[in-house]
Structure 1
Amino acid sequence: MAKRRAESDLPRTVEEFDRWYAQRPERWEFIAGVPVMMVPGANNRTIIKGNVFRPLASRLAGKPCRPLGDGPEVKSHQLSAIPVVVTCSPVEGRAGHITDPAVIVEMLSPSSERDDTGRKWQGYCLIPSLRHYLAVAQDKRFVTVHTRTGPDSFEERFYLGGTIDLPAIGAQLSLDEIYEGVTFEAEPADD
């Protein structure tokens, strides 16, 4: 029988998590003070991630803001996560994190939706530089966008179609672009 790891062995702060994570071969995030191992994503997630990154990279070429599609960690209170980000500050090439994202995009899955729209969002909204947070469903056409309206406030909008305006970075994304090439499972028929 496997022994359960003592809770005192697990990191409780972002700093402890960084040291703990450096000793792990797997990818982990730290959400609301709890380490969570990242599992490989579904193909829809990978397609959507590319569909978000490509148009942002094209539209922001030659401008001060730059999208980063995979790899940099975003850290906040009790949070270390690996979303798609857009930063408008110079990028330190050797660093593995972004301290001032302007846009954060998370691809939702059934296993991560509660964290991405709840506990992660609670950490992200504390980042002063954050202007837009997009939570993109991968099992249907549905995007939730939080846009900062003041130092301590955000407006939430839901998109089933159309175009999402991201004025903080001077770009737009259409749902047709986001979901290009994505196939959804058929809904069960009502009897």
Structure 2
Amino acid sequence: MGIELEQPAQAGRMSGRDFRAFQEGRPDHERWELVAGVPMMMTPPTLTHNRIAGNLERLLNDALAAQAPDRIALQRPGIELGSGEFRPEPDIAGIDAAFAPGQRFVEQAYLLAEIVSSSDDMRVPETGARWSEVKRSIYLAHPACEAVLMIEQDRMEVRVDVRAEPGWTTRTLALRMN
């Protein structure tokens, strides 16, 4: 994918472990991601973003209840996805339904979804890639992940990555309005 995921921490930057310790001291309502070793507070999402995320969570949970009742879909779960100086927070994840009260993080996710907004257009230092593409690369590298959804917030388009026997297959689904 072109993004180096296993990077040693550089001077003045936070490691993934340091970032998790930093997060523990922050209020629960704050959302943070680690981008190239720099903690970034995330602005509240738009109402459109929340509507898409809520609809997707509901649809996934309906399907999982019928097909895989040992899994659930959650918005903004804590997942140990990143490596090196990256700790993204997916908008939706499919995870194991069994978890402990008070648990914040899980080690694996089977589906990872991102509602792509204008804030995801920022370029990540030293990679030149958009933050949404860096996140997608990290999601695809997660060993338990079976599917990645990148849903565009401002147009009717979704990129679907599915892990199959030979590797990942990617399709972009779009509705073009005339």
Question: Which category of TM-score, normalised to the shorter sequence, fits these structures?
Answer: 0.7 to 0.9
Partner of 1:81: 88
Q: Secondary structure at the match of 2:119?
A: coil
Q: Aligned partners of 1:51, 1:97: CA distance in 2, in Å?
A: 23
Partner of 1:37: 41
Length-normalised TM-score, structure 2: 0.75
**RMSD of aligned alpha carbons:** 2.5
Confirm or deny: 8 A CA contact 1:73 1:98 kept in the other structure.
Answer: yes
Partner of 1:110: 118
Larger mean CA deviation between 80-89 and 45-54 belongs to 80-89
CA positional deviation for 1:8 = 4.4
Larger mean CA deviation between 123-132 and 17-26 belongs to 17-26
Letter in 2 for 1:128: P
The 1:149/1:32 distance shift into structure 2, 3 A limit, reads farther
Q: Secondary structure at the match of 1:129?
A: coil
Q: Aligned partners of 1:123, 1:31: CA distance in 2, in Å?
A: 12
CA positional deviation for 1:57 = 1.3
Q: Secondary structure at the match of 2:81?
A: strand
Letter in 2 for 1:66: I
Partner of 1:67: 73
Q: Secondary structure at the match of 2:110?
A: strand
Larger radius of gyration: 1
Q: Aligned partners of 1:29, 1:158: CA distance in 2, in Å?
A: 26
Partner of 1:132: 147
Partner of 1:165: none
Matching of residue 90 in structure 1 with residue 105 in structure 2: no
Match of 2:18 among 16, 19, 43: 16
Q: Aligned partners of 2:145, 2:81: CA distance in 1, in Å?
A: 12
CA positional deviation for 1:29 = 0.7
Q: Aligned partners of 1:24, 1:90: CA distance in 2, in Å?
A: 26
Q: Using the aligned pairs only, state the percent identity.
A: 25
Partner of 1:46: 50
Unmatched 5+ stretches in structure 2:
1-9, 122-129
The 1:9/1:20 distance shift into structure 2, 3 A limit, reads farther
Q: Aligned partners of 1:49, 1:22: CA distance in 2, in Å?
A: 25
Partner of 1:184: none
The 1:34/1:107 distance shift into structure 2, 3 A limit, reads same
Unmatched 5+ stretches in structure 1:
1-6, 162-191
